[in-house]
Amino acid sequence: MARHINRKNVSSEKMEKGTFKTSMKKLLLYCRKYWGWLIFALALGIVGVITQIIGPNKIMDLTNVISDGLIYHAGNIDIAEVTKICVLLVCLYIVGALFNYFQNYITTIVTQKVGRNLRRDISKKINKLPLNYFDSHLHGDVLSRVTNDVDTVTQSLSESVGSLFSSGLLFVGVLIMMFITEPLMALTVIGATILGFALSLIFLTKSQKYFNKVQEQMGELNAHIEETYSGHNVVRLFNAEENRKEEFTKINKQLHKYGWRSRFLSGVMGPVMGFVGNFGYVAVCIVGALLARKHGISYFGVITAFMIYVRLFSRPLSSIAQSLTSLQSASAASKRVFEFLEGEEQASEEGKLSAPAKIEGNIDFENVRFGYKPEKIIIKDFSCKVNAGQKIAIVGPTGAGKTTLVNLLMKFYETNSGDIKIDGISIGDMKREAVHSLFGMVLQDTWLFEGTIMENLKYNNKDVSDKRVYQVCKAVGIDHFIQTLSKGYNTIVDDTINLSAGQKQLLTIARTMIADRPMVILDEATSSVDTRTEILLQQAMDKAMEGRTSFVIAHRLSTIKNADTILVLKDGDIVEKGKHEDLLAKGGAYAELYNSQFEEE
């Protein structure tokens, strides 16, 4: 674990430079579909900004009318003119607000849809990655990407995209107005702003690093708590709370450290921008005053105008700054999302064969060699011919490679060399789905999902009739139990119903039997089922598997006595092969294994 983290840190250090740009570019490209809408929103924003720039001008006219009345007409204010301007302003405001709303509306829709697409793509990606990806990556980390990271992306985007648009437009609009009014003063404002901006840039680049770290530590925290929460029993009973807490605190402290730094640095952006505004204001006052000495009293109007402009100019700047900090966390989070989405997928299988319509069930293992890692070979040179309809038992000590063999047969992993053929067709030439569709598989680790028992049993086979489900459940001896549940087959399987490991196994066996595939693999399928139930189950399964090639891995040798061929595996090689009686008579490894069941001390 520790090593794993270190490696991650090193690579993230290297990647920091340019991360923001690349992730933003990726995100932008990802949103390609919505560019049209975004441009439309931009157009709406332009109208909104125009009303915002015209507004102050009209207000100026209004005060002029009032002061004119006071000064030149002895307090007789031209009410008609006032009303005209006011009505115009009201219209302007309403139009502005409407456009503003629609702009927000569109950006909300776009960001939420982008979020939805990201989540969808991650979920799809999970099913496209090779299995060994999950051997080396933590579940909690992947989960954190689906929820925390995507959440951060959408939340930050919705906060920033809209205001980035309108602020940018306002910024440009004010810039134009300033140059029209007085170029020299405009330059003063810009100069002051650039100075302030340079200051904020320092904070901006610094905080990006911490944002990445925060997101990383978050993934780490998630992984840790998933482990602790799900292994809670063991943690408690071994008085390991303190130990675990220590580890947790370490991550928590890191998270705290980077969390507050990133938040502080990004929080400082607001005040810095406020300062840019104030600084510009002061510059306008000083430079304006000095210029007024030359140009005389008529220059006052320009000064007052610029006092408003400097505020109008710095306000969008600080919202832009705020949006940029939001975008920073969006970029940090999206980096993690894209990292996952860009993970190398299983090799494409276009053009490979689909499942043959009729399957005999002859299987050939030809000099199969495999290791999960190239430097650690588990199966060295495995060859074996299985005839259609045979029941093959694979036995041997734990770690002999029994499950690995099955993983290869299912094409979960690809062999390093050698070949596996089904009815003479290499599984390398078949699509993965095709191989999967040939086998019904029951694993030692039972897996049920939250849904009704019926849904769990039918799983992916929607057109199976309920009647068939009842039939199978009766055959495997779980029907009675299901009936006793409060809602029978419609009981929801979740953490609150107490299913024993054995009951779970029965359910998964039933699920596989319902799926009704031409061949069957049972990997320790009945290890938690009590033996009386098992005998009944055995009969039911034998009947169901009649004429089908089947592979059975079992520790309880009683289960496999009647197998056509028993393969005794040791360190990935077949050490013995034959029928129960023959092997027993031979007095070799199998006999030893078998007799150990009954040996007295």
Contact 208, 331 (CB under 8 A): yes
Please report how close the Cβ of residue 491 comes to other proteins at its closest, in angstroms.
13
Specify the stretch interacting with other proteins by CB under 8 A; choose among 13-21, 79-87, 413-421, 575-583: 79-87
413 binds other proteins (CB under 8 A): no
Residues 417-446 binding other proteins (CB under 8 A) are 432-433, 436-437, 439, 441, 443-445
Residues 532-591 binding other proteins (CB under 8 A) are 532-535, 555-558
In Å, the largest CA–CA distance within the chain is 127
For residue 420, the 8-state DSSP code is E
Phi, psi of 442 (to 5 degrees): -120, 125
Specify the stretch interacting with other proteins by CB under 8 A; choose among 104-112, 205-213, 358-366, 575-583: 104-112
CB-wise, 32 or 532, nearer to other proteins?
532
Please report how close the Cβ of residue 17 comes to other proteins at its closest, in angstroms.
26
CB-wise, 392 or 406, nearer to other proteins?
406
Contact 152, 215 (CB under 8 A): yes
Structure tokens at 577: 């092969």
Q: Looking at this protein, which amino acid is placed at residue 258?
A: Y
Q: Looking at this protein, which amino acid is placed at residue 425?
A: I
Specify the stretch interacting with other proteins by CB under 8 A; choose among 27-35, 491-499, 539-547, 575-583: 491-499
Structure tokens at 45: 């924003």
The size of the interface with other proteins (CB under 8 A), counted in residues, is 174
CB-wise, 15 or 109, nearer to other proteins?
109
Please report how close the Cβ of residue 545 comes to other proteins at its closest, in angstroms.
17
CA 280, 286, 289, 291 dihedral sign is negative
Contact 163, 319 (CB under 8 A): yes
Please state, in angstroms and rounded to a whole number, the distance separating the CA atoms of residues 40 and 168. 15
Specify the stretch interacting with other proteins by CB under 8 A; choose among 25-33, 146-154, 382-390, 416-424: 146-154
Residues 25-64 binding other proteins (CB under 8 A) are 55, 59, 62-63
Please state, in angstroms and rounded to a whole number, the distance separating the CA atoms of residues 480 and 482. 5
- Region of 29 (left: φ > 0; alpha: ψ -120 to 50; beta: rest) is alpha
Beta bridge partners of 492: 452
Give the C-alpha distances (Å, rounded to integers) separating 417 from 79, 118, 381. Answer: 94, 37, 9
Please report how close the Cβ of residue 52 comes to other proteins at its closest, in angstroms.
8
Q: Which of 7, 17, 73, 124 binds other proteins (CB under 8 A)?
A: 124
348 binds other proteins (CB under 8 A): no
CB-wise, 22 or 191, nearer to other proteins?
191
Taking each helix axis from N to C end, the angle separating 300-341 and 183-230, rounded to the nearest 10 degrees, works out to 30
Q: x/- binding map, residues 264-303, to other proteins, per CB under 8 A?
A: x--xx-xxx-xx--xx-xx--xx--xx-xx--xx--x--x
CB-wise, 22 or 58, nearer to other proteins?
58
Q: Using alpha carbons only, what angle is made at residue 423 by residues 422 and 428, rounded to the nearest 5 degrees?
A: 35
212 binds other proteins (CB under 8 A): no
Specify the stretch interacting with other proteins by CB under 8 A; choose among 34-42, 244-252, 361-369, 422-430: 244-252
